[in-house]
Amino acid sequence: MTNLRTSLIWATAFVLLALANRFGLIADNDAATMFAILPALWVTSGGLGRCRIPKVTA
């Protein structure tokens, strides 16, 4: 997947979480926790491009 597509998927997750909280599908406490967890998941999944060990191909 390209960086743009991956970033759009993560952005969509943030927007959907915000909308779910706005319309009362997710409680405020749970949404606040997810807003703290989602960026951490993004970074550990390679969102910054520096946190993942590069694959060495022969």
Tokens at residue 4, please?
């743009």
Give the model's pLDDT for residue 48.
63
pLDDT digits (tens, 9 = 90+) for 3-55: 778 888 888 999 999 999 999 999 999 999 999 998 888 878 766 655 556 67
Buried residues in 16-44 as b, exposed as e (16+ CB within 10 A)? ebeeebeeeebeeeebeebeeeeeeebee
Give the model's pLDDT for residue 43.
78
DSSP class of 26: S
